[in-house]
């Protein structure tokens, strides 16, 4: 948000007459909180929420939701959490959940989140990852150079993911709904006994030196002393940190995400997609 390409306005304009579609009437400050505030209003009224964006937008929406089922469609820069799914499939899956045609206990899951907190009380929250970079300013926000990455924490680890989740995924496996997190400290690949090949950013595959990694359960944390660096969330720099103690940990009870595959499997199994049948 704001919807600079006018996708939402086009949806409203092109909607069939018998479907009531309206834009949320809200003022925009042009910041992440806009997404959260919009999500809060959907939480109060909607039965499902479809998000067009990447990890950052999904996280911001998640912060405004509690139990509202979310279906995030991969249209952002960093897309670990959103699904690369056809728009019609996504819409139909959301409709099956929203209408109660499938049991949302079988088709949704709670996604863990991760957080970094400084001793002085500031914090950064990520849905897939919170990263620590040794660049000393936020600048253009994107985490550009893998050589500057000092480590961080991930809520999910899979080698087919992107960013820090890809690095963690080369060493261990962690499903998004598993409790806990994986914390990593990275070093220059030449100075490390352990290197992995990972997709660290869109269009960037590289070898990364891993100094250590730890599986953290809920309640456990990794503590790092930072002289001068930036904390990022989901691939974007967020908070400058100097002479601080930073604690990385997982956050349970994150957003409730819809698995579109599970929705259709459930619907087919229960015969929902056949005319005249009951839900699963």
Partner 1 sequence: MLTIREFDTRAGERFADGEIPGFVHLYVGEEAVGVGACAALEEDDYITSTHRGHGHCIAKGLDPKLMMSEIYGKRDGYCNGKGGSMHIADVDSEMLGANGIVGAGPPLGTGAALSISQKGEDRIALSFLGDGAVAQGQVHEAVNLASTWDLPVVFLIENNQYGEGTAVSDQHNAKNLSDTAAAYDIPGINVDGMDITAVNEAVTEARKRARNGEGPTLIEAETYRFHGHFEGDQELYRDEEEVEDWRKRDPIDTFSERLIERDELSEEELGEMREDIEMEIEDAIEYAKNADDPTPDEAYEDMFSQRVPDIDLFVEQANARADGGTRGGEF
Residues that bind partner 1 (CB under 8 A): 2, 4-5, 136-141, 144, 228, 240, 242
Closest to partner 1 by CB, 104 or 244: 244
Closest C-alpha among 150, 162, 201, 158 to residue 182: 158
Closest CB 94 distance from partner 1, rounded Å: 26
Closest to partner 1 by CB, 67 or 242: 242
3-state helix, strand, coil in the chain (%, to 5): 25, 35, 40
Closest CB 135 distance from partner 1, rounded Å: 9
Decide the pairing of beta strands 256-258 and 181-187: unpaired
Closest to partner 1 by CB, 27 or 140: 140
106 SS3 class: helix
Q: How far apart are CA 81 and CA 58, in angstroms?
A: 8
Closest to partner 1 by CB, 7 or 268: 7
Phi, psi of 82 (to 5 degrees): -65, 155
Closest to partner 1 by CB, 159 or 202: 202
Beta-bridged to residue 129, according to DSSP, are 154
Closest CB 95 distance from partner 1, rounded Å: 30
Beta-bridged to residue 231, according to DSSP, are 132, 239
Closest CB 242 distance from partner 1, rounded Å: 5
Closest to partner 1 by CB, 3 or 212: 3
Closest CB 35 distance from partner 1, rounded Å: 16
Closest CB 139 distance from partner 1, rounded Å: 4
Closest CB 99 distance from partner 1, rounded Å: 34
Q: How far apart are CA 155 and CA 165, in angstroms?
A: 8
Q: How far apart are CA 163 and CA 192, in angstroms?
A: 19
Max Cα-Cα span within the chain: 65
Closest to partner 1 by CB, 127 or 200: 200
156 SS3 class: coil
Helix runs in 139-259, H state only: 164-169
Q: How far apart are CA 9 and CA 89, in angstroms?
A: 21
């Amino acid at each position: 948000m704001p919807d600079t390409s006018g996708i939402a306005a086009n949806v409203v304009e092109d909607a069939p007459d018998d479907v009531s579609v309206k834009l949320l009437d809200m003022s925009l400050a042009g910041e992440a909180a806009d997404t959260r505030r919009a999500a809060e209003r959907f939480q109060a009224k909607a039965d499902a929420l479809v998000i067009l964006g990447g990890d950052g937008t999904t996280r911001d929406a998640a912060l405004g939701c509690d139990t509202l089922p979310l279906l995030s469609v991969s249209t952002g820069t960093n897309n670990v959490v959103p699904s690369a799914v056809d728009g019609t499939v996504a819409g139909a899956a959301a409709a099956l959940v929203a209408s109660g045609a499938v049991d949302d206990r079988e088709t949704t899951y709670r996604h863990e989140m991760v957080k970094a907190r400084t001793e002085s009380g500031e914090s950064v929250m990520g849905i897939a990852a919170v990263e620590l970079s040794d660049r000393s300013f936020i600048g253009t926000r994107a985490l550009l150079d893998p050589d500057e990455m000092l480590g961080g924490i991930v809520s999910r680890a899979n080698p087919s993911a992107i960013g820090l989740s890809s690095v963690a995924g080369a060493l261990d496996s962690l499903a998004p709904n598993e409790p806990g997190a994986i914390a990593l400290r990275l070093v220059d690949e030449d100075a490390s006994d352990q290197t992995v090949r990972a997709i660290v950013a869109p269009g960037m595959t590289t070898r990364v030196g891993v100094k250590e990694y730890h599986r953290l359960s809920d309640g456990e944390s990794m503590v790092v002393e930072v002289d001068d660096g930036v904390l990022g969330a989901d691939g974007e720099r967020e908070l400058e940190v100097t002479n601080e103690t930073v604690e990385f940990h997982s956050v349970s009870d994150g957003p409730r995400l819809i698995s579109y595959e599970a929705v259709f499997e459930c619907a087919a199994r229960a015969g929902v997609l056949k005319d005249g049948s009951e839900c699963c």
